[in-house]
């Protein structure tokens, strides 16, 4: 600590240059904080997926329906505790741009998703109302919906049997999700599959996918094979996988977010390395006579090396912490501005930890060459300006 004033004095020797370098580090880590939140949001569903749930979908495509008759057969497979089902609806509210996930679900669907918290009275009302629907709190806020409202959705994929495309639902419940990693679920709307099955023009007795709750997650492989054997060599062969694997595959249909974010950040940090490395090299080059004076006074080679390294690490850590801090402050504002269409998680401990490690590594890398130069400098030559 007794050398801190030396490090700070060296760092702020050229205030304008240091300020610009700090700004570039800040911008890089602001971007890192926000992009990592996007990656975390995409990973959240996968990471928090129920370990005791499996998804049974068509082996050929997620949009290929499965027969309703499979329900009882799946229920007889040893190790299966409960089976629910759902169907993607894809309706929009008033305008096609008002898109959000909406599904037709089986009566016991909510029993398999305890993370979706619906007050008992609202659950009762949902069970009793054929055209009833429940929505997440985030979605309700987004459109200003309240219980008792009638919600008209345009069924662009599934028109009604009577020729119309407007499906009207009675909003009977608003659910919440306590796990912050699963907040995205609060953007969903759920309604009865029975109503969907009876009223849509295309499907009859078909479901999009089954959700299977298993008694012992360790038996998942065996159960998956047994379920898939039920429809082997039929026109509706199934693929049964853990919910985590299913969601991972679903997310990858959009793109490998982790890879995209990683690629962007690698480019940003590489540029930052060059920029900050150049600044540090220039700063040390200018201070060669001063470093020689320190050595003259008795500072060892190692002490000079550590002083320069501390300077570069402090520069990056200072800018990085400001950048990540700003990202943490901006995240709620971004969510608010998006009106609930995007729900980015706050900058979490994992992002901060990774960020701090990156700051230290970048600081070390950019400081290494100038520090070695300072360490190796010959006092006599440096004082003579050679």
Residues of the shown chain interacting with another protein in the complex, contacts defined by CB under 8 A: 2-3, 5-6, 9-10, 12-13, 289-290, 293-302, 379-380, 383
Q: Whole-number minimum distance, CB 373 to another protein, in Å?
A: 16
Please, which residue, 183 or 295, has the CB nearer to another protein?
295
Please, which residue, 225 or 296, has the CB nearer to another protein?
296
Please, which residue, 152 or 289, has the CB nearer to another protein?
289
Contact 3, 310 (CB under 8 A): yes
Q: Whole-number minimum distance, CB 292 to another protein, in Å?
A: 8
Please, which residue, 12 or 60, has the CB nearer to another protein?
12
Q: Whole-number minimum distance, CB 21 to another protein, in Å?
A: 17
Q: Whole-number minimum distance, CB 4 to another protein, in Å?
A: 11
Q: Whole-number minimum distance, CB 26 to another protein, in Å?
A: 23
Please, which residue, 345 or 374, has the CB nearer to another protein?
374
Q: Whole-number minimum distance, CB 370 to another protein, in Å?
A: 17
Please, which residue, 75 or 289, has the CB nearer to another protein?
289
Question: Helix, strand, coil % (nearest 5) of the chain?
Answer: 55, 15, 25
CA atoms of 136 and 48, how far apart (whole Å): 18
Please, which residue, 7 or 309, has the CB nearer to another protein?
7
Q: Whole-number minimum distance, CB 42 to another protein, in Å?
A: 47
User: 292: which residues sit within 8 A by CB, 6+ positions away?
Assistant: 377, 379, 382, 383
Contact 9, 304 (CB under 8 A): no
Please, which residue, 84 or 280, has the CB nearer to another protein?
280
Contact 80, 213 (CB under 8 A): yes
Taking residue 88's Cβ as centre, other Cβ atoms within 10 Å add up to: 16
Q: Whole-number minimum distance, CB 378 to another protein, in Å?
A: 8
């Amino acid at each position: 600590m007794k050398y801190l004033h030396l490090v700070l004095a060296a760092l702020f020797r050229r205030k304008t240059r240091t300020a610009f370098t700090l700004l570039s580090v800040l911008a890089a880590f602001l971007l890192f904080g926000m992009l990592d939140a996007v990656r975390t949001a995409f990973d959240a569903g996968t990471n928090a997926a129920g370990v005791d749930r499996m998804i049974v979908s068509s082996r050929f495509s997620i949009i290929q329906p499965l027969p309703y008759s499979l329900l009882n057969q799946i229920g007889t497979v040893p190790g299966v505790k409960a089976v629910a089902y759902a169907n993607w609806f894809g309706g929009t509210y008033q305008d096609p741009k008002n898109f959000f996930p909406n599904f037709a679900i089986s009566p016991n669907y909510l029993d398999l998703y305890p993370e979706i918290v619906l007050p008992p009275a609202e659950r009762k009302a949902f069970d009793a109302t054929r055209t009833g629907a429940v929505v997440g709190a985030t979605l309700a806020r987004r459109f200003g919906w309240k219980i008792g409202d009638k919600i008209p959705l345009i069924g662009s994929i599934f028109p009604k049997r009577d020729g119309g495309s407007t499906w009207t639902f009675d909003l009977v419940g608003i659910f919440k999700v306590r796990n912050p990693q699963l907040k995205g679920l609060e953007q969903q709307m759920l309604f009865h599959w029975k109503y969907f099955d009876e009223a849509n023009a295309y499907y009859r007795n078909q479901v999009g996918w089954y959700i299977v709750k298993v008694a012992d997650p360790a038996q998942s492989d065996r159960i998956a094979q047994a379920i898939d054997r039920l429809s082997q060599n039929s026109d509706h062969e199934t693929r049964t996988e853990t919910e985590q694997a299913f969601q991972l595959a679903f997310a990858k249909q959009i793109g490998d977010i982790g890879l995209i974010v990683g690629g962007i950040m690698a480019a940003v940090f590489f540029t930052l390395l060059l920029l900050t490395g150049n600044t540090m090299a220039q700063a040390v080059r200018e201070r060669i006579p001063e470093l020689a004076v320190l050595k003259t006074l008795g500072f060892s080679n190692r002490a000079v090396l550590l002083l320069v390294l501390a300077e570069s690490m402090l520069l990056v850590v200072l800018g990085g912490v400001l950048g990540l801090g700003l990202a943490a402050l901006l995240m709620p504002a971004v969510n608010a501005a998006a009106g609930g269409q995007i729900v980015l998680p706050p900058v979490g401990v994992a992002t901060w930890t990774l960020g701090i490690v990156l700051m230290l590594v970048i600081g070390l890398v950019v400081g290494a060459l100038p520090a070695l130069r300072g360490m190796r400098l010959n006092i006599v030559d440096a004082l003579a300006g050679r």
